[in-house]
Amino acid sequence: MAPLMTRLTALLAGLLFGIGLMVSGMANPAKVLGFLDIAGRWDPSLALVIVGAIAVGSPAFFVAKRRDSSLLGRPMQLPVSTAITSGLILGSAVFGIGWGVAGLCPGPALVALGAGYPKAFGFVAAMIAGMAVFEFVERSKVNMQRAKAAPRQRSSS
């Protein structure tokens, strides 16, 4: 399919996702913090959102795993690794702490930013800074690995 159709489909999917986050309350930090406060005034209503997401997502992933390409003809790109690494555990912990402290995670934070929630501005700035630090660290690792491998390549030639 043409890139225009791919972009239009991505735009429509993003709008639908954003509307769903707003309607469900997932973009409202107070609502999310109420759901996470199981020892206080717990608000279980977001559990229905989670169950609904699983009910919709599970069959979609079941079908997607059996396909080589999307309905738009693009290659299917699903995660294949099942390894539980220290990076995965650390990233999950940081994500959970951030979600619990701010009541936001990346998708809802962008929707909340668009809706004008003041808390979202700081969260998105911190999220971008975190992504920049991650990118810097990952590039540094790759550059160090290349530097270590370079002398070996010269000596073996």
- Give the separation between CA 141 and CA 28, rounded to whole angstroms: 37
Task: Report the pLDDT value the prediction gives residue 90, as an integer from 0 to 100.
Answer: 92
Task: Report the pLDDT value the prediction gives residue 27, as an integer from 0 to 100.
Answer: 87
- Give the separation between CA 68 and CA 56, rounded to whole angstroms: 20
User: Per DSSP, what are the bridge partners of residue 75?
Assistant: 69
Task: Report the pLDDT value the prediction gives residue 84, as an integer from 0 to 100.
Answer: 95
Helix or strand holding residue 135 (H, E): helix 118-156
Which residue type, as a one-letter code, is found at position 113?
L
Task: Tally DSSP H helices, then E strands, for the chain.
Answer: 6, 0
Q: How big is the chain, counted in residues?
A: 157
DSSP structure class, residue 148: H
Angle (CA) 79 67 54, round 5°? 60
Biggest CA–CA distance in the chain, Å, is 68
Per-residue pLDDT of the chain (157 residues; tens, 9 = 90+): 468 888 899 899 999 999 998 998 888 888 889 998 889 889 999 899 889 999 999 999 999 999 999 888 888 888 888 999 998 999 899 889 988 888 898 989 999 998 888 889 999 999 999 999 999 999 999 999 888 887 765 555 5
Task: Report the pLDDT value the prediction gives residue 89, as an integer from 0 to 100.
Answer: 95
